[in-house]
C-alpha cells in the first residue's frame, strides 16, 4: 500500500488517477483520490450487446490507455495489473488508469522475478516463470484487453490454470468479431507477440496504422466486402446475408 502511494505521488497525467492525499493511522493507510464517476471499463463492456465496443470507440479508449502506459514506462513504472477492472472512465468516457498495487519502479530493461498479475492477462514470460521486463508485460496485457474490447471474451482461456498457461505460451487466438478492420488485427498481433524482445513499446503502438485510419466504419465495411468476395471465389456458403452484402453481388 505504501509503495502504491509513493508511485502515485510520482505521477501527474490526465489518464492516470490522481492521488490527492494519503495518511495512515495505527491500523490503516488511507488514500484520498479524485473520484472517477463513470465506472470501470469492465462494467461498461458488460452493458454492451455481445460485450463488445464498436471499433472506433475501442480505438479511442485504447489510445488513451497507451498514452497513460507510455507515461508510466517513461518513469520506469510498470503497472503489472492492466485489466478491464483497473481502467476507469470519467463522465466523458475518458480513461483513468487505477490500482498501482502490483506496480514496481525499476529500470525498464532490468528483469523482474516476481510473477504476479491476473492469469488471463499474464504474458508468456510470466506464466513460464522466466525473468521478464515490466513494460513489455504491460503491453501484452493491453493486447489481451484490446482483444476483449472487440470480441467480448478473452483470447486465451483454459479449463485449468495450466491449460490457460499453455495457450498463453502458444499465443494463438481466434477472432470472433468478423467486422474488425485489417489494421485492428495487425495491432492486436503486434501486442500479443510471444517474444518480448520484438513486442512493441507503447510509443511504437501509438504510431501504428490503426490510429491513422480516417473512417473506421468504411474500412470495416470494405473488409467485410473483401471477405465476402473471397468466400464466393472459394465457394464457401455465405450463411449471413445482410442488405449491403447482397449489394456486392449486383
Q: Which of 4, 54, 90, 99 binds Mg ion (CB under 5 A)?
A: 99
Smallest distance, Mg ion to C-beta of residue 99, A? 4
**CA-closest candidate to residue 156, choices 208, 113, 197, 191:** 191
Grid cell for residue 46:
458488460
Backbone angles phi, psi at 229, to 5 degrees: -65, -40
Among 86, 103, 120, 181, binds Mg ion (CB under 5 A): 86
Torsion angle, alpha carbons of 109, 115, 120, 121, to 10: -20
List, in order, residues 6 or more apart from 21 with CB less than 8 Å away. Answer: 32
The nearer residue to ligand ADP, 118 or 227, going by C-beta atoms, is: 118
Q: How far is the CB of 17 from ligand ADP (least distance, A)?
A: 5
Q: E strand or H helix at 70, and its extent?
A: helix 55-74
**Which of 11, 22, 60, 101 forms a contact with ligand ADP (CB under 6 A)?**
101
Give the Cα separation of 97 and 40 in Å (integer): 10
Shorter beta-carbon distance to ligand ADP: residue 116 or 249: 116
Contact with ligand ADP (CB under 6 A) among 17, 122, 126, 137: 17
Q: Are strands 19-24 and 104-105 parallel, antiparallel or unpaired?
A: unpaired
Query: From the CB of 87, what's the least distance to ligand ADP, in Å?
Result: 9
> What is the footprint of Mg ion within residues 16-55 (CB under 5 A)?
none
> CA 121 to CA 36: how far, in whole Å?
24
38 binds, among ligand ADP, Mg ion, none (CB under 5 to 8 A by kind): none
Q: Sign (positive/negative) of CA torsion 149, 151, 155, 161?
A: positive
Helix (H, G, I), strand (E, B) or coil at 199: coil
Instruction: Name the β-bridge partners of 23.
Output: 30
Which of the residues 26, 54, 81, 196 is marked catalytic? 81
Whether 81 sits among the annotated catalytic residues: the reply is yes
Q: Report the residue number whose CB is nearest to ligand ADP.
A: 99
The least distance separating Mg ion from the CB of residue 188, rounded to whole angstroms, comes to 24
Binding residue (CB under 6 A) for ligand ADP from 35, 159, 172, 198 = 35
Which stretch in 29-37, 119-127, 196-204, 206-214 sits in contact with ligand ADP by CB under 6 A? 29-37
Task: Give the C-alpha separation, 137 to 78, whole Å.
Answer: 8
Return the number of the residue (99 or 204) whose C-beta is nearest Mg ion: 99
Q: Active-site positions? A: 81
Residues that bind ligand ADP (CB under 6 A): 17, 33-36, 40, 85-86, 88, 98-99, 101
Amino acid at each position: 500500500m505504501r509503495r502504491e502511494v509513493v508511485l502515485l505521488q510520482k505521477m501527474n497525467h490526465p489518464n492516470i488517477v490522481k492521488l490527492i492525499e494519503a495518511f495512515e493511522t495505527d491500523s490503516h493507510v488511507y488514500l484520498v483520490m479524485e473520484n472517477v464517476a463513470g465506472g470501470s471499463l469492465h462494467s461498461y463492456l458488460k452493458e454492451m450487446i455481445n460485450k463488445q465496443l464498436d471499433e472506433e470507440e475501442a480505438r479511442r479508449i485504447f489510445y488513451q490507455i497507451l498514452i497513460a502506459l507510455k507515461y508510466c514506462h517513461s518513469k520506469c513504472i510498470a503497472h503489472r495489473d492492466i485489466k478491464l477492472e483497473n481502467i476507469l472512465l470519467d463522465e466523458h468516457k475518458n480513461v483513468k488508469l487505477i490500482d498501482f498495487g502490483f506496480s514496481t519502479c525499476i529500470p525498464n530493461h532490468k528483469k523482474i522475478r516476481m510473477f504476479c498479475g491476473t492469469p488471463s492477462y499474464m504474458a508468456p514470460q510470466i506464466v513460464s516463470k522466466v525473468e521478464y521486463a515490466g513494460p513489455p508485460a504491460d503491453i501484452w496485457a493491453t493486447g489481451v484487453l484490446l482483444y476483449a474490447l472487440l470480441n467480448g471474451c478473452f483470447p486465451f482461456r483454459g479449463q485449468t490454470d495450466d491449460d490457460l498457461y499453455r495457450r498463453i505460451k502458444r499465443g494463438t487466438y481466434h477472432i470472433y468479431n468478423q467486422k474488425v478492420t485489417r489494421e485492428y488485427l495487425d495491432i492486436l498481433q503486434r501486442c500479443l507477440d510471444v517474444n518480448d524482445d520484438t513486442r512493441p513499446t507503447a510509443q511504437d503502438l501509438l504510431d501504428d496504422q490503426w490510429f491513422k485510419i480516417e473512417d473506421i466504419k468504411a474500412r470495416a465495411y470494405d473488409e467485410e466486402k473483401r471477405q465476402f468476395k473471397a468466400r464466393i471465389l472459394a465457394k464457401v456458403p455465405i450463411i449471413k446475408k445482410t442488405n449491403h452484402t447482397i449489394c456486392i453481388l449486383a
